[in-house]
Amino acid sequence: MAFYIARRLFWTAIVVAAVIAITFIVFYVLPAGDPAVRFAGKNPNAQELMLIRHRLGLDQAWYVQFGKFIKTFFAGDQYGWPGLGYTFAGQASVLHLIIQRAPRTLLLIAGAAVIWLVSGVSIGILSAVKRRTVIDRGAMGFALFGISAPVFWLGLMGLYIFWRKLGWSGGTGYISPTHSVTGFLSHMWLPWVALAMLYAAFYARMTRNNLLETLGEDYIRTARAKGLSERTVIFKHGLRASLTPIVTMFGLDIALLVGGAVITESVFNLQGLGYLAINGALSQDLPTVLGVVLLAAVCVAVANLVVDIVYAFIDPRVRYA
Amino acid sequence: MSEGEKLLDVRGLTVRFPTSDGVVQAVSDVTFSLSRGETLGVVGESGSGKSVSNLAIMGLLNRQRTMIAGEVEFLGRDLLTLPPNELRKIRGKDIAMVFQDPFACLHPMYRVGAQIAEAVSAHSHDGKDKAWERAVELLDHVGIPNAKSRARDYPHQFSGGMRQRAMIAMALVHNPSILICDEPTTALDVTVQAQIIELIEAVKQEFNIGVILVTHDLGVIAEVADSVMVMYAGRVMEYGPAAQIFDQPQHPYAWGLLDSMPSVERRLAALVPIEGSPPSLLAPPSGCPFHPRCRYRFEPCPTERPPLVAPVPEAHPDACHLPWDDKVKYGSERSITRLGDAA
């Protein structure tokens, strides 16, 4: 197992490095204009531009810059380890920016994940157990709605109804929980629900289908033949086998959201990592983009590893060597 | 608890499944009984209602989606009208079941010992350790070597035969009165089949229980069954003591089954298959369900359903219109051709 994890970590490093290299290439190959021009101010002359290029390191080939990036990453910069360099605009520490923005995104994901996991799985179980009843149809109707409704629409409708009309929500923007817990919750519950909706719908459908499939297995009949109660049959024997794919999905979904909750972040003006990445991309601020991309890639790779390890614990048939 | 005590009395058991294509008549009017110390062999082709009857007896069919009629009396109580919670107390305790595919019947994610221990705790208040001890004891009893350490294995670490042994151990935890074995050897290697059948026989003797053995292996039935029930299209075609059924079968379908059975004396070429295929249970044939495939059919067969009665007092019950003399005649001609083929 230890060897397996070490091998996986090695490949994780390779994948992340590849992602960073691709980001560099895309940045230079795509003709998006010269970043130096953007940062030079009005009517720069050629000499000024050269100076800026030199200062930002843009006068070197991409692979040289890539090497420098890797070197800084391991050596650290004045803001500590890992060194992520400085933004083109303002020369702020990217690491500092990420540390500042990350809690917003992570708290958004954490809250939403709890909501979608709990509601999705319980709706799925209820739906499977009450198959072909009004409850089942209602739950699957909800799931269809959740899957079809885009998050920007859900978010805006939610804001209109619960903030403007009913006043149940604190509205857009972010309030740190260290500043005010109630303020944090009143601002966060709506984005949590909006983001969780799509996933809850998916998880409900997946739980229902997996559970129904599992309940048709022969070992469920064996469990009933032992004289176990229906509750034990469904929750112990049925759920154990049907939740394994959901564990896999859950790990990856959370990881993908680290850089992928942009829409929710912008609808609710939370200014998290997604906001940082988008702004970085729009203003051609390579170091910012690289920082977020690196974090997102590491999260996905680590989540993959964690999922595989957890899987081995859930299902004894899976053993890694 | 004397030997011969009547354990199970099944009368007119009928099971129907409503589907979108119509009603499937899986089991129609099945009547039989089982006593302590008796092995009842149930034979018939796939889809003849063998398994469904047993699932109905165990109460393992979804009551909301099946129509079940008749009576299944177990020690004076009708299992079909028992509330689900009462039935659950009997299931796995007084009546236990061993299924066909031991590869699919054990939960892949729990240790074998834990699954057996769970069967112990389902009907007793013993602690976890005690239940586990009982599981190990039973695994040892059914012939699992190193039961103590093997109990900690997962099903995929067991061979097919060992899994079926584990299933039998699981069925025995509460010393049941009835053990229902639904094709217990079909999924196993031939060499292992004999061991499992021997184990079931040994268990029957030791615990003095009644065994219902469903199989399409007539050789197994001939070896261990005390009585035999031949089923076709959800109905009982012939029912009687095993010795009589094998020596002097009375129903053309039973003849067909026996003639299609390979044995040491009869080479494959000498096997006589039953022409045609079993009928659809959505629209079973009128009259005798076997008549479209029967070589001996005559006028009443397609229209009138033959009742399951003994044609003469000294014979056992069968469901066939043929007059007794014809049955004797065709039956004996049949055994002559069989001897001729063997020579």
The interface pTM score, or ipTM, of the predicted complex is 0.85
**Higher pLDDT, residue A103 or B342:** A103
B99/A221 CB distance under 8 A: yes
- pLDDT given at position B7: 92
Residue A312 Cα, gap to closest chain B Cα (Å): 11
B99/A314 CB distance under 8 A: no
Residue A5 lies in a domain: no
- pLDDT given at position B343: 36
Given a cut of 80, whether residue A75 has pLDDT beyond it is no
- pLDDT given at position B188: 83
- A316 to chain B, any CB pair closer than 8 A? The answer is yes
**Higher pLDDT, residue A94 or B136:** B136
Residue A100 Cα, gap to closest chain B Cα (Å): 43
* SS3 of chain B: CCCCCEEEEEEEEEEEEEECCEEEEEEEEEEEEEECCCEEEEECCCCCCHHHHHHHHHCCCCCCCCEEEEEEEECCEECCCCCHHHHHHHECCCEEEECCCHHHHCCCCCCHHHHHHHHHHHCCCCCHHHHHHHHHHHHHHCCCCCHHHHCCCCHHHCCHHHHHHHHHHHHHCCCCCEEEEECCCCCCCHHHHHHHHHHHHHHHHHHCCEEEEECCCHHHHHHHCCEEEEEECCEEEEEEEHHHHHHCCCCHHHHHHHHCCCCCCCCHHHCCCCCCCCCCCCCCCCCCCCHHHCCCCCCCCCCCCCCCECCCCCCCCECCCCCHHHHHHHHHHHHHHHHHHHC
- What are phi and psi for residue A42, nearest 5 degrees? -75, 140
Residues A127 and A157 in one domain: yes
- pLDDT given at position A321: 55
Residues A273 and A130 in one domain: yes
User: Does residue A273 sit in helix, strand or coil?
Assistant: helix
Residues A51 and A183 in one domain: no
In whole angstroms, what is the distance from residue A9 CA to residue B288 CA?
70
Residue A89 lies in a domain: no
Average pLDDT per block of 10 residues along chain B, 343 residues long: 76 92 91 93 88 90 88 91 90 92 90 94 89 93 91 92 92 92 87 89 91 88 92 93 90 87 65 82 90 90 91 90 89 61 41
- B122 to chain A, any CB pair closer than 8 A? The answer is yes
- B104 to chain A, any CB pair closer than 8 A? The answer is yes
Residue A235 Cα, gap to closest chain B Cα (Å): 13
A314/B167 CB distance under 8 A: no
Residue A10 lies in a domain: no
**Segment A153-198, tens digit of pLDDT:** 988 898 888 888 898 878 788 888 888 888 888 888 999 999 999 8
* SS3 of B270-325: HCCCCCCCCCCCCCCCCCCCCHHHCCCCCCCCCCCCCCCECCCCCCCCECCCCCHH
In whole angstroms, what is the distance from residue A257 CA to residue A271 CA?
14
Residue A176 lies in a domain: yes
Quote the pTM value: 0.81
- Tell me which residues of chain B, numbers 152 to 181, contact chain A at a CB-CB cutoff of 8 Å: 154, 156, 167, 170
- pLDDT given at position B2: 45
Residue A20 lies in a domain: no
Residues A180 and A57 in one domain: no
Total length of chain A: 321
**Segment A189-209, tens digit of pLDDT:** 999 999 999 899 999 999 999
- Burial classification of residue A149, based on how many CB atoms lie within 10 Å of its CB (0-12 exposed, 13-18 middle, 19 or more buried): middle
Residues A57 and A149 in one domain: no
Residue A237 lies in a domain: yes
Instruction: For residue A205, give the CATH number of its domain.
Output: 1.10.3720.10
- pLDDT given at position A64: 80
Residue A277 lies in a domain: yes
Residues A199/A123, Cβ–Cβ less than 8 Å = no
Residues A287/A94, Cβ–Cβ less than 8 Å = yes
Chain B residue numbers touching A217 (CB-CB < 8 A): 104
Q: Look up the domain containing A203 and give its range.
A: 96-314
Residues A181 and A63 in one domain: no
Given a cut of 70, whether residue A78 has pLDDT beyond it is no
Q: For the residues A27-53, what does the mean pLDDT come to?
A: 73
Residue A186 lies in a domain: yes
Domain count, chain A: 2
Residues A127 and A187 in one domain: yes
- pLDDT given at position A97: 86
Chain B residue numbers touching A213 (CB-CB < 8 A): none
Q: Find the CB nearest B88 among A218, A227, A241.
A: A227
- pLDDT given at position B263: 65
Q: How confident is the model at residue A320 (pLDDT cuts 50, 70, 90)?
A: low
When mean pLDDT is compared across A66-70, A103-107, A212-216, B310-314, the lowest value belongs to: A66-70
Q: For the residues A8-37, what does the mean pLDDT come to?
A: 79
Q: Find the CB nearest A217 among B92, B104, B122.
A: B104
